[in-house]
Amino acid sequence: MERKQGFFSALRDDVVRALSPARSRGKSPSPSPSPMWRRRKEEQRGAAAAAEAMGRSGSMRPVGETLTPLMEGPDGEGSGEERRGGGGERWGHWMKGTLSRAPSVSSSASPVKRSDLRLLLGVMGAPLAPVHVCTADPLPHLSIKDTPIETSSAQYILQQYTAASGGQKLQNSIRNAYAMGKVKMLASEYETATKVVRNRNASRTAESGGFVLWQMMPDMWYVELAVGGSKVHAGCNGKLVWRHTPWLGAHAAKGPVRPLRRALQGLDPRTTASMFANARCIGEKKVDGEDCFILKLCADPETLKARSEGPAEIIRHVLFGYFSQRTGLLVHIEDSHLTRIQSNGGDAVYWETTINSFLDDYRPVEGIMIAHSGRSVVTLFRFGEMAMSHTKTRMEEAWTIEEVAFNVPGLSIDCFIPPADIRCGSISETCELTHGERGKSMAAMAAHRAKVAAMEKAHNLGVDNIVWKVEV
């Protein structure tokens, strides 16, 4: 009995020491201490509940626990509103600090996430559609006479898609739109000429985050994506497309103004229909048990030339849209582009990027059909003259849409102004792939590389004793 009483007394003292006035959740004043003999029976009956509460409550966690509850927000000495998430800046610092310190049980997964994060955000963060789209232009009139069967079939499929998405009249009444969602990204496989490395800890190495997308007619949009403590911004004011990453800073995109590909993934039916206005119907295919028509869209040579830069030449960019024969909605997008990079005096290197997106859970929002979930599989294939230099990286993304709203009051063109520190020299989207190919250009980015070096540790660690070295 004496041992039990000593144990419960020590447990009570530890709990009292763990509590602080800032974390106390009681609303009434604390009563005066009562004699110890009155509490001993209550402590004996409530010892198990107290131990369970310590494992469950963030304000009574043991000393050795390293994980902080996500919904609690930053654990500081600020006001109660900041601790509940009112201080966005404090929450951002807290999130970065939490991600930077991984628990000991997952220490092998954390370096993989850090090394892959730049590749994930560079390729999957804010990709653009192949061609310029003007949503103000009406869809082509359905015509059968003197029109190839591939073109007339595509026009008919788009008419069905527009009707299934809510109708052209309702879509034309939308002046602006807002969408907010969650994303989860991971690098699932890396292949070389001699070995294949698969990510066996996908659940632990996946990077979670969220995004916010604003759109305004005509042709203005802004997206902000935060994953793993890093943030990517991109936007368009109708005349200029720009992008900001922690390692490149703010820069303008090469070529004509193009829509954000993320908006085509079930969030913007009008832009999607305008994108495929000049497409051709090339056949049918079953996707996830759904019979679909296939529309093919190719970027024209002028657009490809305008998007090319220096040693990086974009050879082709093709977009396939799979429209359900049953519902008329877009259920699958396949996006592929090939870039050729010719180094000074070296062999040519080719990068082929393929993005397959599956759209699910269509639900009406104010009469417009919106896909509320989906997933993408990205394959980044690098090959050249030497067969042993081939590499293939497979990445995956899953997203869910939390909120969608149309005709948001107060949204103006001031929300889509490019950043003041945008560079005068434009940079194409292939810049993400050409860091390892152009040594001279890296010197000009020393300031941005310093930021990356501070965020990413300059060492290579692996999962299951396998080192991941992804060349970007």
Q: Is the pLDDT of residue 387 over 60?
A: yes
pTM above 0.75, yes or no: no
Whether 275 is in a domain gets the answer yes
Give the pLDDT confidence score for residue 343 in this predicted structure.
Answer: 77
Whether 108 is in a domain gets the answer no
Name which of 43-47, 273-277, 331-335, 458-462 the model is least confident about: 458-462
Whether 59 is in a domain gets the answer no
At 468, is the pLDDT very low, low, confident or very high (cuts 50, 70, 90)? very low
Whether 336 is in a domain gets the answer yes
Q: Domain residues for 301?
A: 118-467
Mean pLDDT of the chain: 74
Q: Is the pLDDT of residue 137 over 90?
A: no
Name which of 143-157, 228-242, 355-369 the model is least confident about: 143-157
Q: Is the pLDDT of residue 52 over 50?
A: no
And the tokens for 418? 């490019």
Q: Is the pLDDT of residue 393 over 90?
A: yes
Domain count, the chain: 1
Whether 44 is in a domain gets the answer no
Whether 338 is in a domain gets the answer yes
Whether 33 is in a domain gets the answer no
Crossing angle for the helix pair 2-18 and 36-56, nearest 10 degrees? 60
Name which of 99-103, 227-231, 359-363 the model is least confident about: 99-103
Whether 43 is in a domain gets the answer no
